[in-house]
Chains A and B, each alone.
Chain A
Amino acid sequence: MKNHSPVMEQRGTLSPSPPPAWTPRTDPAPLLPDPRPYRVLGTDAAEKADPALLLELYDQLVRGRRYNAQATALTRQGRLAVYPSSTGQEACEVAAALALEERDWLFPSYRDTLAAVARGLEPVQALTLLRGDWHTGYDPHEHRIAPLCTPLATQLPHAVGLAHAARLKGDDVVALAMVGDGGTSEGDFHEALNFAAVWQAPVVFLVQNNGFAISVPLAKQTAAPSLAHKAVGYGMPGRLVDGNDAAAVYEVIGDAVRHARAGGGPTLVEAVTYRIEAHTNADDATRYRGAGEVEAWRAHDPITLLERELTERGLLDDARRQSAYDAAEALAAELRDRMNEEPVLDPMDLFTHVYAEQTTQLREQAAQLRAELEAEAER
């Protein structure tokens, strides 16, 4: 038996120069996420949490839960074309909005109308897309909220570009980009994280891992140890947080935002949460998951967790709780009223904003529609 091929033996006679020294560019250790999702509520860390902050989070969660319920009800009344509810995920939505400064930018997905509302956008404007009277119902510059994005993960490179541009201009602005667990399989997720890390752009990527992409569970989406682990491959820190613990999400995102603002570059945050409702009102979740699973997550509900903490610390009595629920009810009533008004539609808007200046083609087509509308009005 020969152990070496003749080629191998010959190689031994050569004296090749050694390859240039190779060292890893980044020490992966500090980038790795702690595999146990970070928690505050019910732990020692909760003692340090600011009571005023906890109460603000509580008010927002209760409001958000009611907003979700009202929006879902509006789909049944035909007032919304579709609604992807964030029920069960309110802690992520609210914390994302509150952790940002006014000058920062939020890049939401279709599921994140609540984050936009928590940031100050009028609910009716946030829901324009889902009512269907226009695509984006607000001027993104007003609250620095990018249009709600439907093509998965495609908003992530926008956040990177905006953050990069802000840095080039010398503004200490941070962009927070939101995406779902399914969206992390998209190429744009990869490209955005890579660009952000290479450019050290002040971006925070918040993945809400709610267990499903419509019907497909995370196990069919990735073989990564966690979604937060993906950060390491790009050379940015990954953080894993309990997405139903509002105080924890707020702290982790807040840290990442401050890190980015200070020039430390991007962070990937995975918030582990659960989509309590179906994907949208049009989906039937019983086809792909059991009721037991949903019940188990209901026991780990973001409002319940915070309520327990506040009650134990004596920060929440019945009156205070009632005031939170009353405020939420007022929001829902206003939303109902506003959404029951017929939206004002101008069909000629179809041609107004395609280009800065209308092309001959569009002028001709606009004239055609105008004539049709006039004929319709005469009938």
Chain B
Amino acid sequence: MTTVADQPSTTAVKPASMAQALQRALRDALAADPAVHVMGEDVGALGGVFRITDGLAKEFGEDRCTDTPLAEAGILGAAVGMAMYGLRPVVEMQFDAFAYPAFEQLISHVARMRNRTKGAMPLPITIRVPYGGGIGGVEHHSDSSEAYYMATPGLHVVTPATVADAYGLLRASIASDDPVVFLEPKRLYWSKDSWNPDAPSTVEPIGRAVVRRTGRSATLITYGPSVPVCMEAAEAAREEGWDLEVVDLRSLVPFDDATVCESVRRTGRAVVVHESGGFGGPGSEIAARVTERCFHHLQAPVLRVAGFDIPYPPPMLERHHLPGVDRILDAVARLQWEGDS
């Protein structure tokens, strides 16, 4: 489905941060459905280390917003049991790299339970994971772990890039009867957009990409924290005479082939941009899919601008690792423009 992102237009529109929108989504979900339970480390009195659960324990009680013991496998494993009994747990992992202890529960149970039981036991669990770099975090606080999740059948993998999507996609994830890994780009937590919290955007269906910026020369395919970087790159590209389209995937699983391919067939060129490492990263899959489906429309190979294939660097070096505007424009320049009219 190709649509230019809606701009909220009511009078109560004010600048709001992604963190506020996420908090509001949790609050509205808790209020709307007594089965929803928020749980994790420090989500109670503190409101989470990023304050996304701020005030929820006070408003809904500690049984609905629970400080758990400090054990990620235990948290997710308990959430599985709660979901088996009809609850809708929303689990907060404190940071990307601290979700790893829960991988066995995630891969061996959360992702498989519906399949294992031929649909008798779906697990409507939302796992919120703050992810990605660019916040000056020390080791283990900046990983882009999406490729691990994408490689696990049975999970949905969703990541917002705007304030409105943060609300809409989180509500949709909590409402989903399938487990959703909800990746929150932590460097966008404090980014502000015009947004009306009293008339939040309609709940976005999971699995639809959106064209953030239309263009004719080439398509930048991206998601989460790299969306604003690509928007900036697209602005800068105008000086070079390139009119770039930016597709925000919003959901890595399910993958919206239709929107991506419609764009690439139109522009004939594509660059995939993400922070995660390139080798075996999401861009490998995306480039392959686009090539398989759009080969005869392509004027150049699909290129990838990704993080280097290194353990996430220390904060004082991370700017060299993260895909920036220049690196994106360099890639665009390599899209075989010679002979183009």
**B74 pairs with A140, CB closer than 8 A:** no
Rounded to whole Å, the gap between the CB of A102 and the closest CB of chain B is 16
**A154 pairs with B77, CB closer than 8 A:** yes
27 A-B interface contacts by CB (under 8 A):
A135-B116, A135-B117, A147-B121, A151-B104, A154-B109, A156-B77, A157-B76, A157-B78, A161-B81, A161-B89, A162-B85, A164-B81, A168-B63, A169-B85, A169-B86, A187-B73, A188-B74, A188-B105, A352-B119, A354-B114, A356-B114, A356-B177, A356-B178, A359-B253, A359-B255, A360-B257, A361-B255
**B69 pairs with A160, CB closer than 8 A:** no
Known A-B contacts: A139-B121, A169-B85, A355-B156. Give 13 more (CB < 8 A). A134-B118, A140-B84, A147-B113, A147-B117, A151-B109, A157-B80, A161-B79, A164-B78, A187-B101, A198-B69, A353-B115, A355-B114, A359-B253
Please list the 3 inter-chain residue pairs (A to B) with the smallest Cβ-Cβ separation, ordered nearest first: A161-B81, A157-B77, A191-B74
Which A residues are CB-close (under 8 A) to B116? 135-136, 147
State which size class the interface on B falls in.
35 or more
Q: Is A227 an interface residue (CB 8 A)?
A: no
Cβ-defined partner of B81 (8 Å) among A134, A151, A158, A356 = A158
A154 and B122 in contact, given A195-B68, A355-B156 (Cβ under 8 angstroms): no
Rounded to whole Å, the gap between the CB of A326 and the closest CB of chain B is 35
- C-beta contact mask, B247-281 vs A, less than 8 Å → 1, else 0? 00000011101100000000000000000000000
Q: Is A118 an interface residue (CB 8 A)?
A: no
Rounded to whole Å, the gap between the CB of B82 and the closest CB of chain A is 4
Which B residues are CB-close (under 8 A) to A354? 114-115, 153-154
Which B residues are CB-close (under 8 A) to A195? 68-69, 71, 74, 78
Q: Is A192 an interface residue (CB 8 A)?
A: yes
A165 and B69 in contact, given A151-B104, A154-B105, A349-B118 (Cβ under 8 angstroms): no
- C-beta contact mask, B86-115 vs A, less than 8 Å → 1, else 0? 110100000000000100110011001111
**A165 pairs with B74, CB closer than 8 A:** no
Rounded to whole Å, the gap between the CB of B228 and the closest CB of chain A is 28
Rounded to whole Å, the gap between the CB of A177 and the closest CB of chain B is 10
Which B residues are CB-close (under 8 A) to A369? none
Q: Is A141 an interface residue (CB 8 A)?
A: yes
Rounded to whole Å, the gap between the CB of A150 and the closest CB of chain B is 8
Q: Is B291 an interface residue (CB 8 A)?
A: no
Q: Is A285 an interface residue (CB 8 A)?
A: no
CB nearest neighbor in B for A129: B116
**A165 pairs with B81, CB closer than 8 A:** yes
**A161 pairs with B77, CB closer than 8 A:** yes
The interface residues of chain A, by DSSP majority, are classed as: helix
Q: Is A166 an interface residue (CB 8 A)?
A: yes
**B82 pairs with A165, CB closer than 8 A:** yes
Rounded to whole Å, the gap between the CB of B105 and the closest CB of chain A is 6
Which A residues are CB-close (under 8 A) to B112? 135
Q: Which of B69, B74, B119, B153 has the largest count of A CB atoms less than 10 A from its CB?
A: B74
Report the bound CA distance from A377 to B235 in whole Å.
Answer: 57
**B109 pairs with A158, CB closer than 8 A:** yes
Report the bound CA distance from A200 to B330 in whole Å.
Answer: 59
Q: Which of B109, B116, B117, B253 has the largest count of A CB atoms less than 10 A from its CB?
A: B117
Q: Is A194 an interface residue (CB 8 A)?
A: yes
**B79 pairs with A154, CB closer than 8 A:** no
Cβ-defined partner of A188 (8 Å) among B63, B77, B83, B89 = B77
Rounded to whole Å, the gap between the CB of B92 and the closest CB of chain A is 16
Q: Is B194 an interface residue (CB 8 A)?
A: no
Rounded to whole Å, the gap between the CB of B98 and the closest CB of chain A is 14
Which B residues are CB-close (under 8 A) to A158? 77-78, 80-81, 84, 109
Q: Is B207 an interface residue (CB 8 A)?
A: yes
Report the bound CA distance from A359 to B114 in whole Å.
Answer: 15
**A165 pairs with B86, CB closer than 8 A:** yes
Report the bound CA distance from A187 to B72 in whole Å.
Answer: 11
Report the bound CA distance from A156 to B254 in whole Å.
Answer: 31
Q: Is B120 an interface residue (CB 8 A)?
A: yes
Rounded to whole Å, the gap between the CB of A140 and the closest CB of chain B is 5
Q: Is A159 an interface residue (CB 8 A)?
A: yes
Report the bound CA distance from A165 to B79 in whole Å.
Answer: 9
Report the bound CA distance from A195 to B178 in whole Å.
Answer: 25
Which B residues are CB-close (under 8 A) to A80? none
- C-beta contact mask, A176-189 vs B, less than 8 Å → 1, else 0? 00000000000110
Q: Is B299 an interface residue (CB 8 A)?
A: no
CB nearest neighbor in B for A349: B118
Q: Is B191 an interface residue (CB 8 A)?
A: no
Rounded to whole Å, the gap between the CB of A362 and the closest CB of chain B is 9
Rounded to whole Å, the gap between the CB of B80 and the closest CB of chain A is 5
A162 and B81 in contact, given A154-B105, A195-B74, A360-B257 (Cβ under 8 angstroms): yes
Report the bound CA distance from A372 to B310 in whole Å.
Answer: 41
**B108 pairs with A151, CB closer than 8 A:** yes
Q: Is A146 an interface residue (CB 8 A)?
A: yes
Report the bound CA distance from A159 to B109 in whole Å.
Answer: 13
Rounded to whole Å, the gap between the CB of A179 and the closest CB of chain B is 13
CB nearest neighbor in B for A193: B74
Which A residues are CB-close (under 8 A) to B85? 161-162, 165-166, 169
Which B residues are CB-close (under 8 A) to A159? 81
Which B residues are CB-close (under 8 A) to A356? 114, 122, 176-178
**B255 pairs with A161, CB closer than 8 A:** no
Rounded to whole Å, the gap between the CB of B200 and the closest CB of chain A is 24
A163 and B81 in contact, given A353-B119, A354-B153 (Cβ under 8 angstroms): yes
**B74 pairs with A162, CB closer than 8 A:** no
